[in-house]
Amino acid sequence: MQQIFNVDQKQFSSTFLKMINQFQMDHALDQFVQEYSLGMKHKLYWSAVLARKSSIILLDEPLSAFDIDAQKLALAILKQKASEGSIILFTSHLSEISDTLATRVLVLQEGNLKEEKI
């Protein structure tokens, strides 16, 4: 992963393991990814993506496979990233998530801009 994201290996590994720990996934590191549930795979993807210090984070339905605890943690992580200056773009069918997290919301209907909230 660190080669794909072009980051320092030690920094990537440290941040990745921290994220895995936060998502309480350390018990599954010795399993094959194919054995993971959908929620576990999403936690793994999140950990890999967030291990890279990026100024822009793009997520599609980021909470869709998470249980309530993982959703709360993911929202807290996104808020932290935003407070550190990252730009976070995400899609969601759940307005309560965008209302909680977003500073700007674009509502699309059938591919057209229906509403903009700032």
Domains in the chain: ranges and CATH = 1-53 (no CATH), 55-118 (3.40.50.300)
Arithmetic mean of pLDDT over the chain: 86
Instruction: Map residue 9 onto helix, strand or coil.
Output: helix
- Give the rounded percent of residues in the chain with a pLDDT score beyond 90: 31
Instruction: Give residues with Cβ within 8 angstroms of 31, minimum separation 6.
Output: none
CB atoms < 10 A from the CB of 52, how many? 17
- Tens of pLDDT, residue by residue over 73-95, are 999 998 898 899 998 888 888 77
pLDDT number for residue 34: 94
Instruction: Map residue 111 onto helix, strand or coil.
Output: coil
Give the whole-angstrom CA distance, residue 82 versus residue 10: 24
Burial 9-46 (b: 16+ CB within 10 A, else e): eeebeebbeebbebbebeebeeeeeeeeeeebebbbeb
Inform me whether the pLDDT recorded for 3 exceeds 80. Answer: no
pLDDT number for residue 4: 60
Among candidate residues 69, 73, 45, the one with its CA nearest the CA of residue 59: 45
Q: Please give the residue that has the higher pLDDT: either 56 or 54.
A: 56
Q: Please give the residue that has the higher pLDDT: either 75 or 102.
A: 75
**pLDDT category of residue 24 using cuts at 50, 70 and 90:** very high
**Is the Cβ–Cβ distance between 101 and 78 less than 8 Å?**
yes
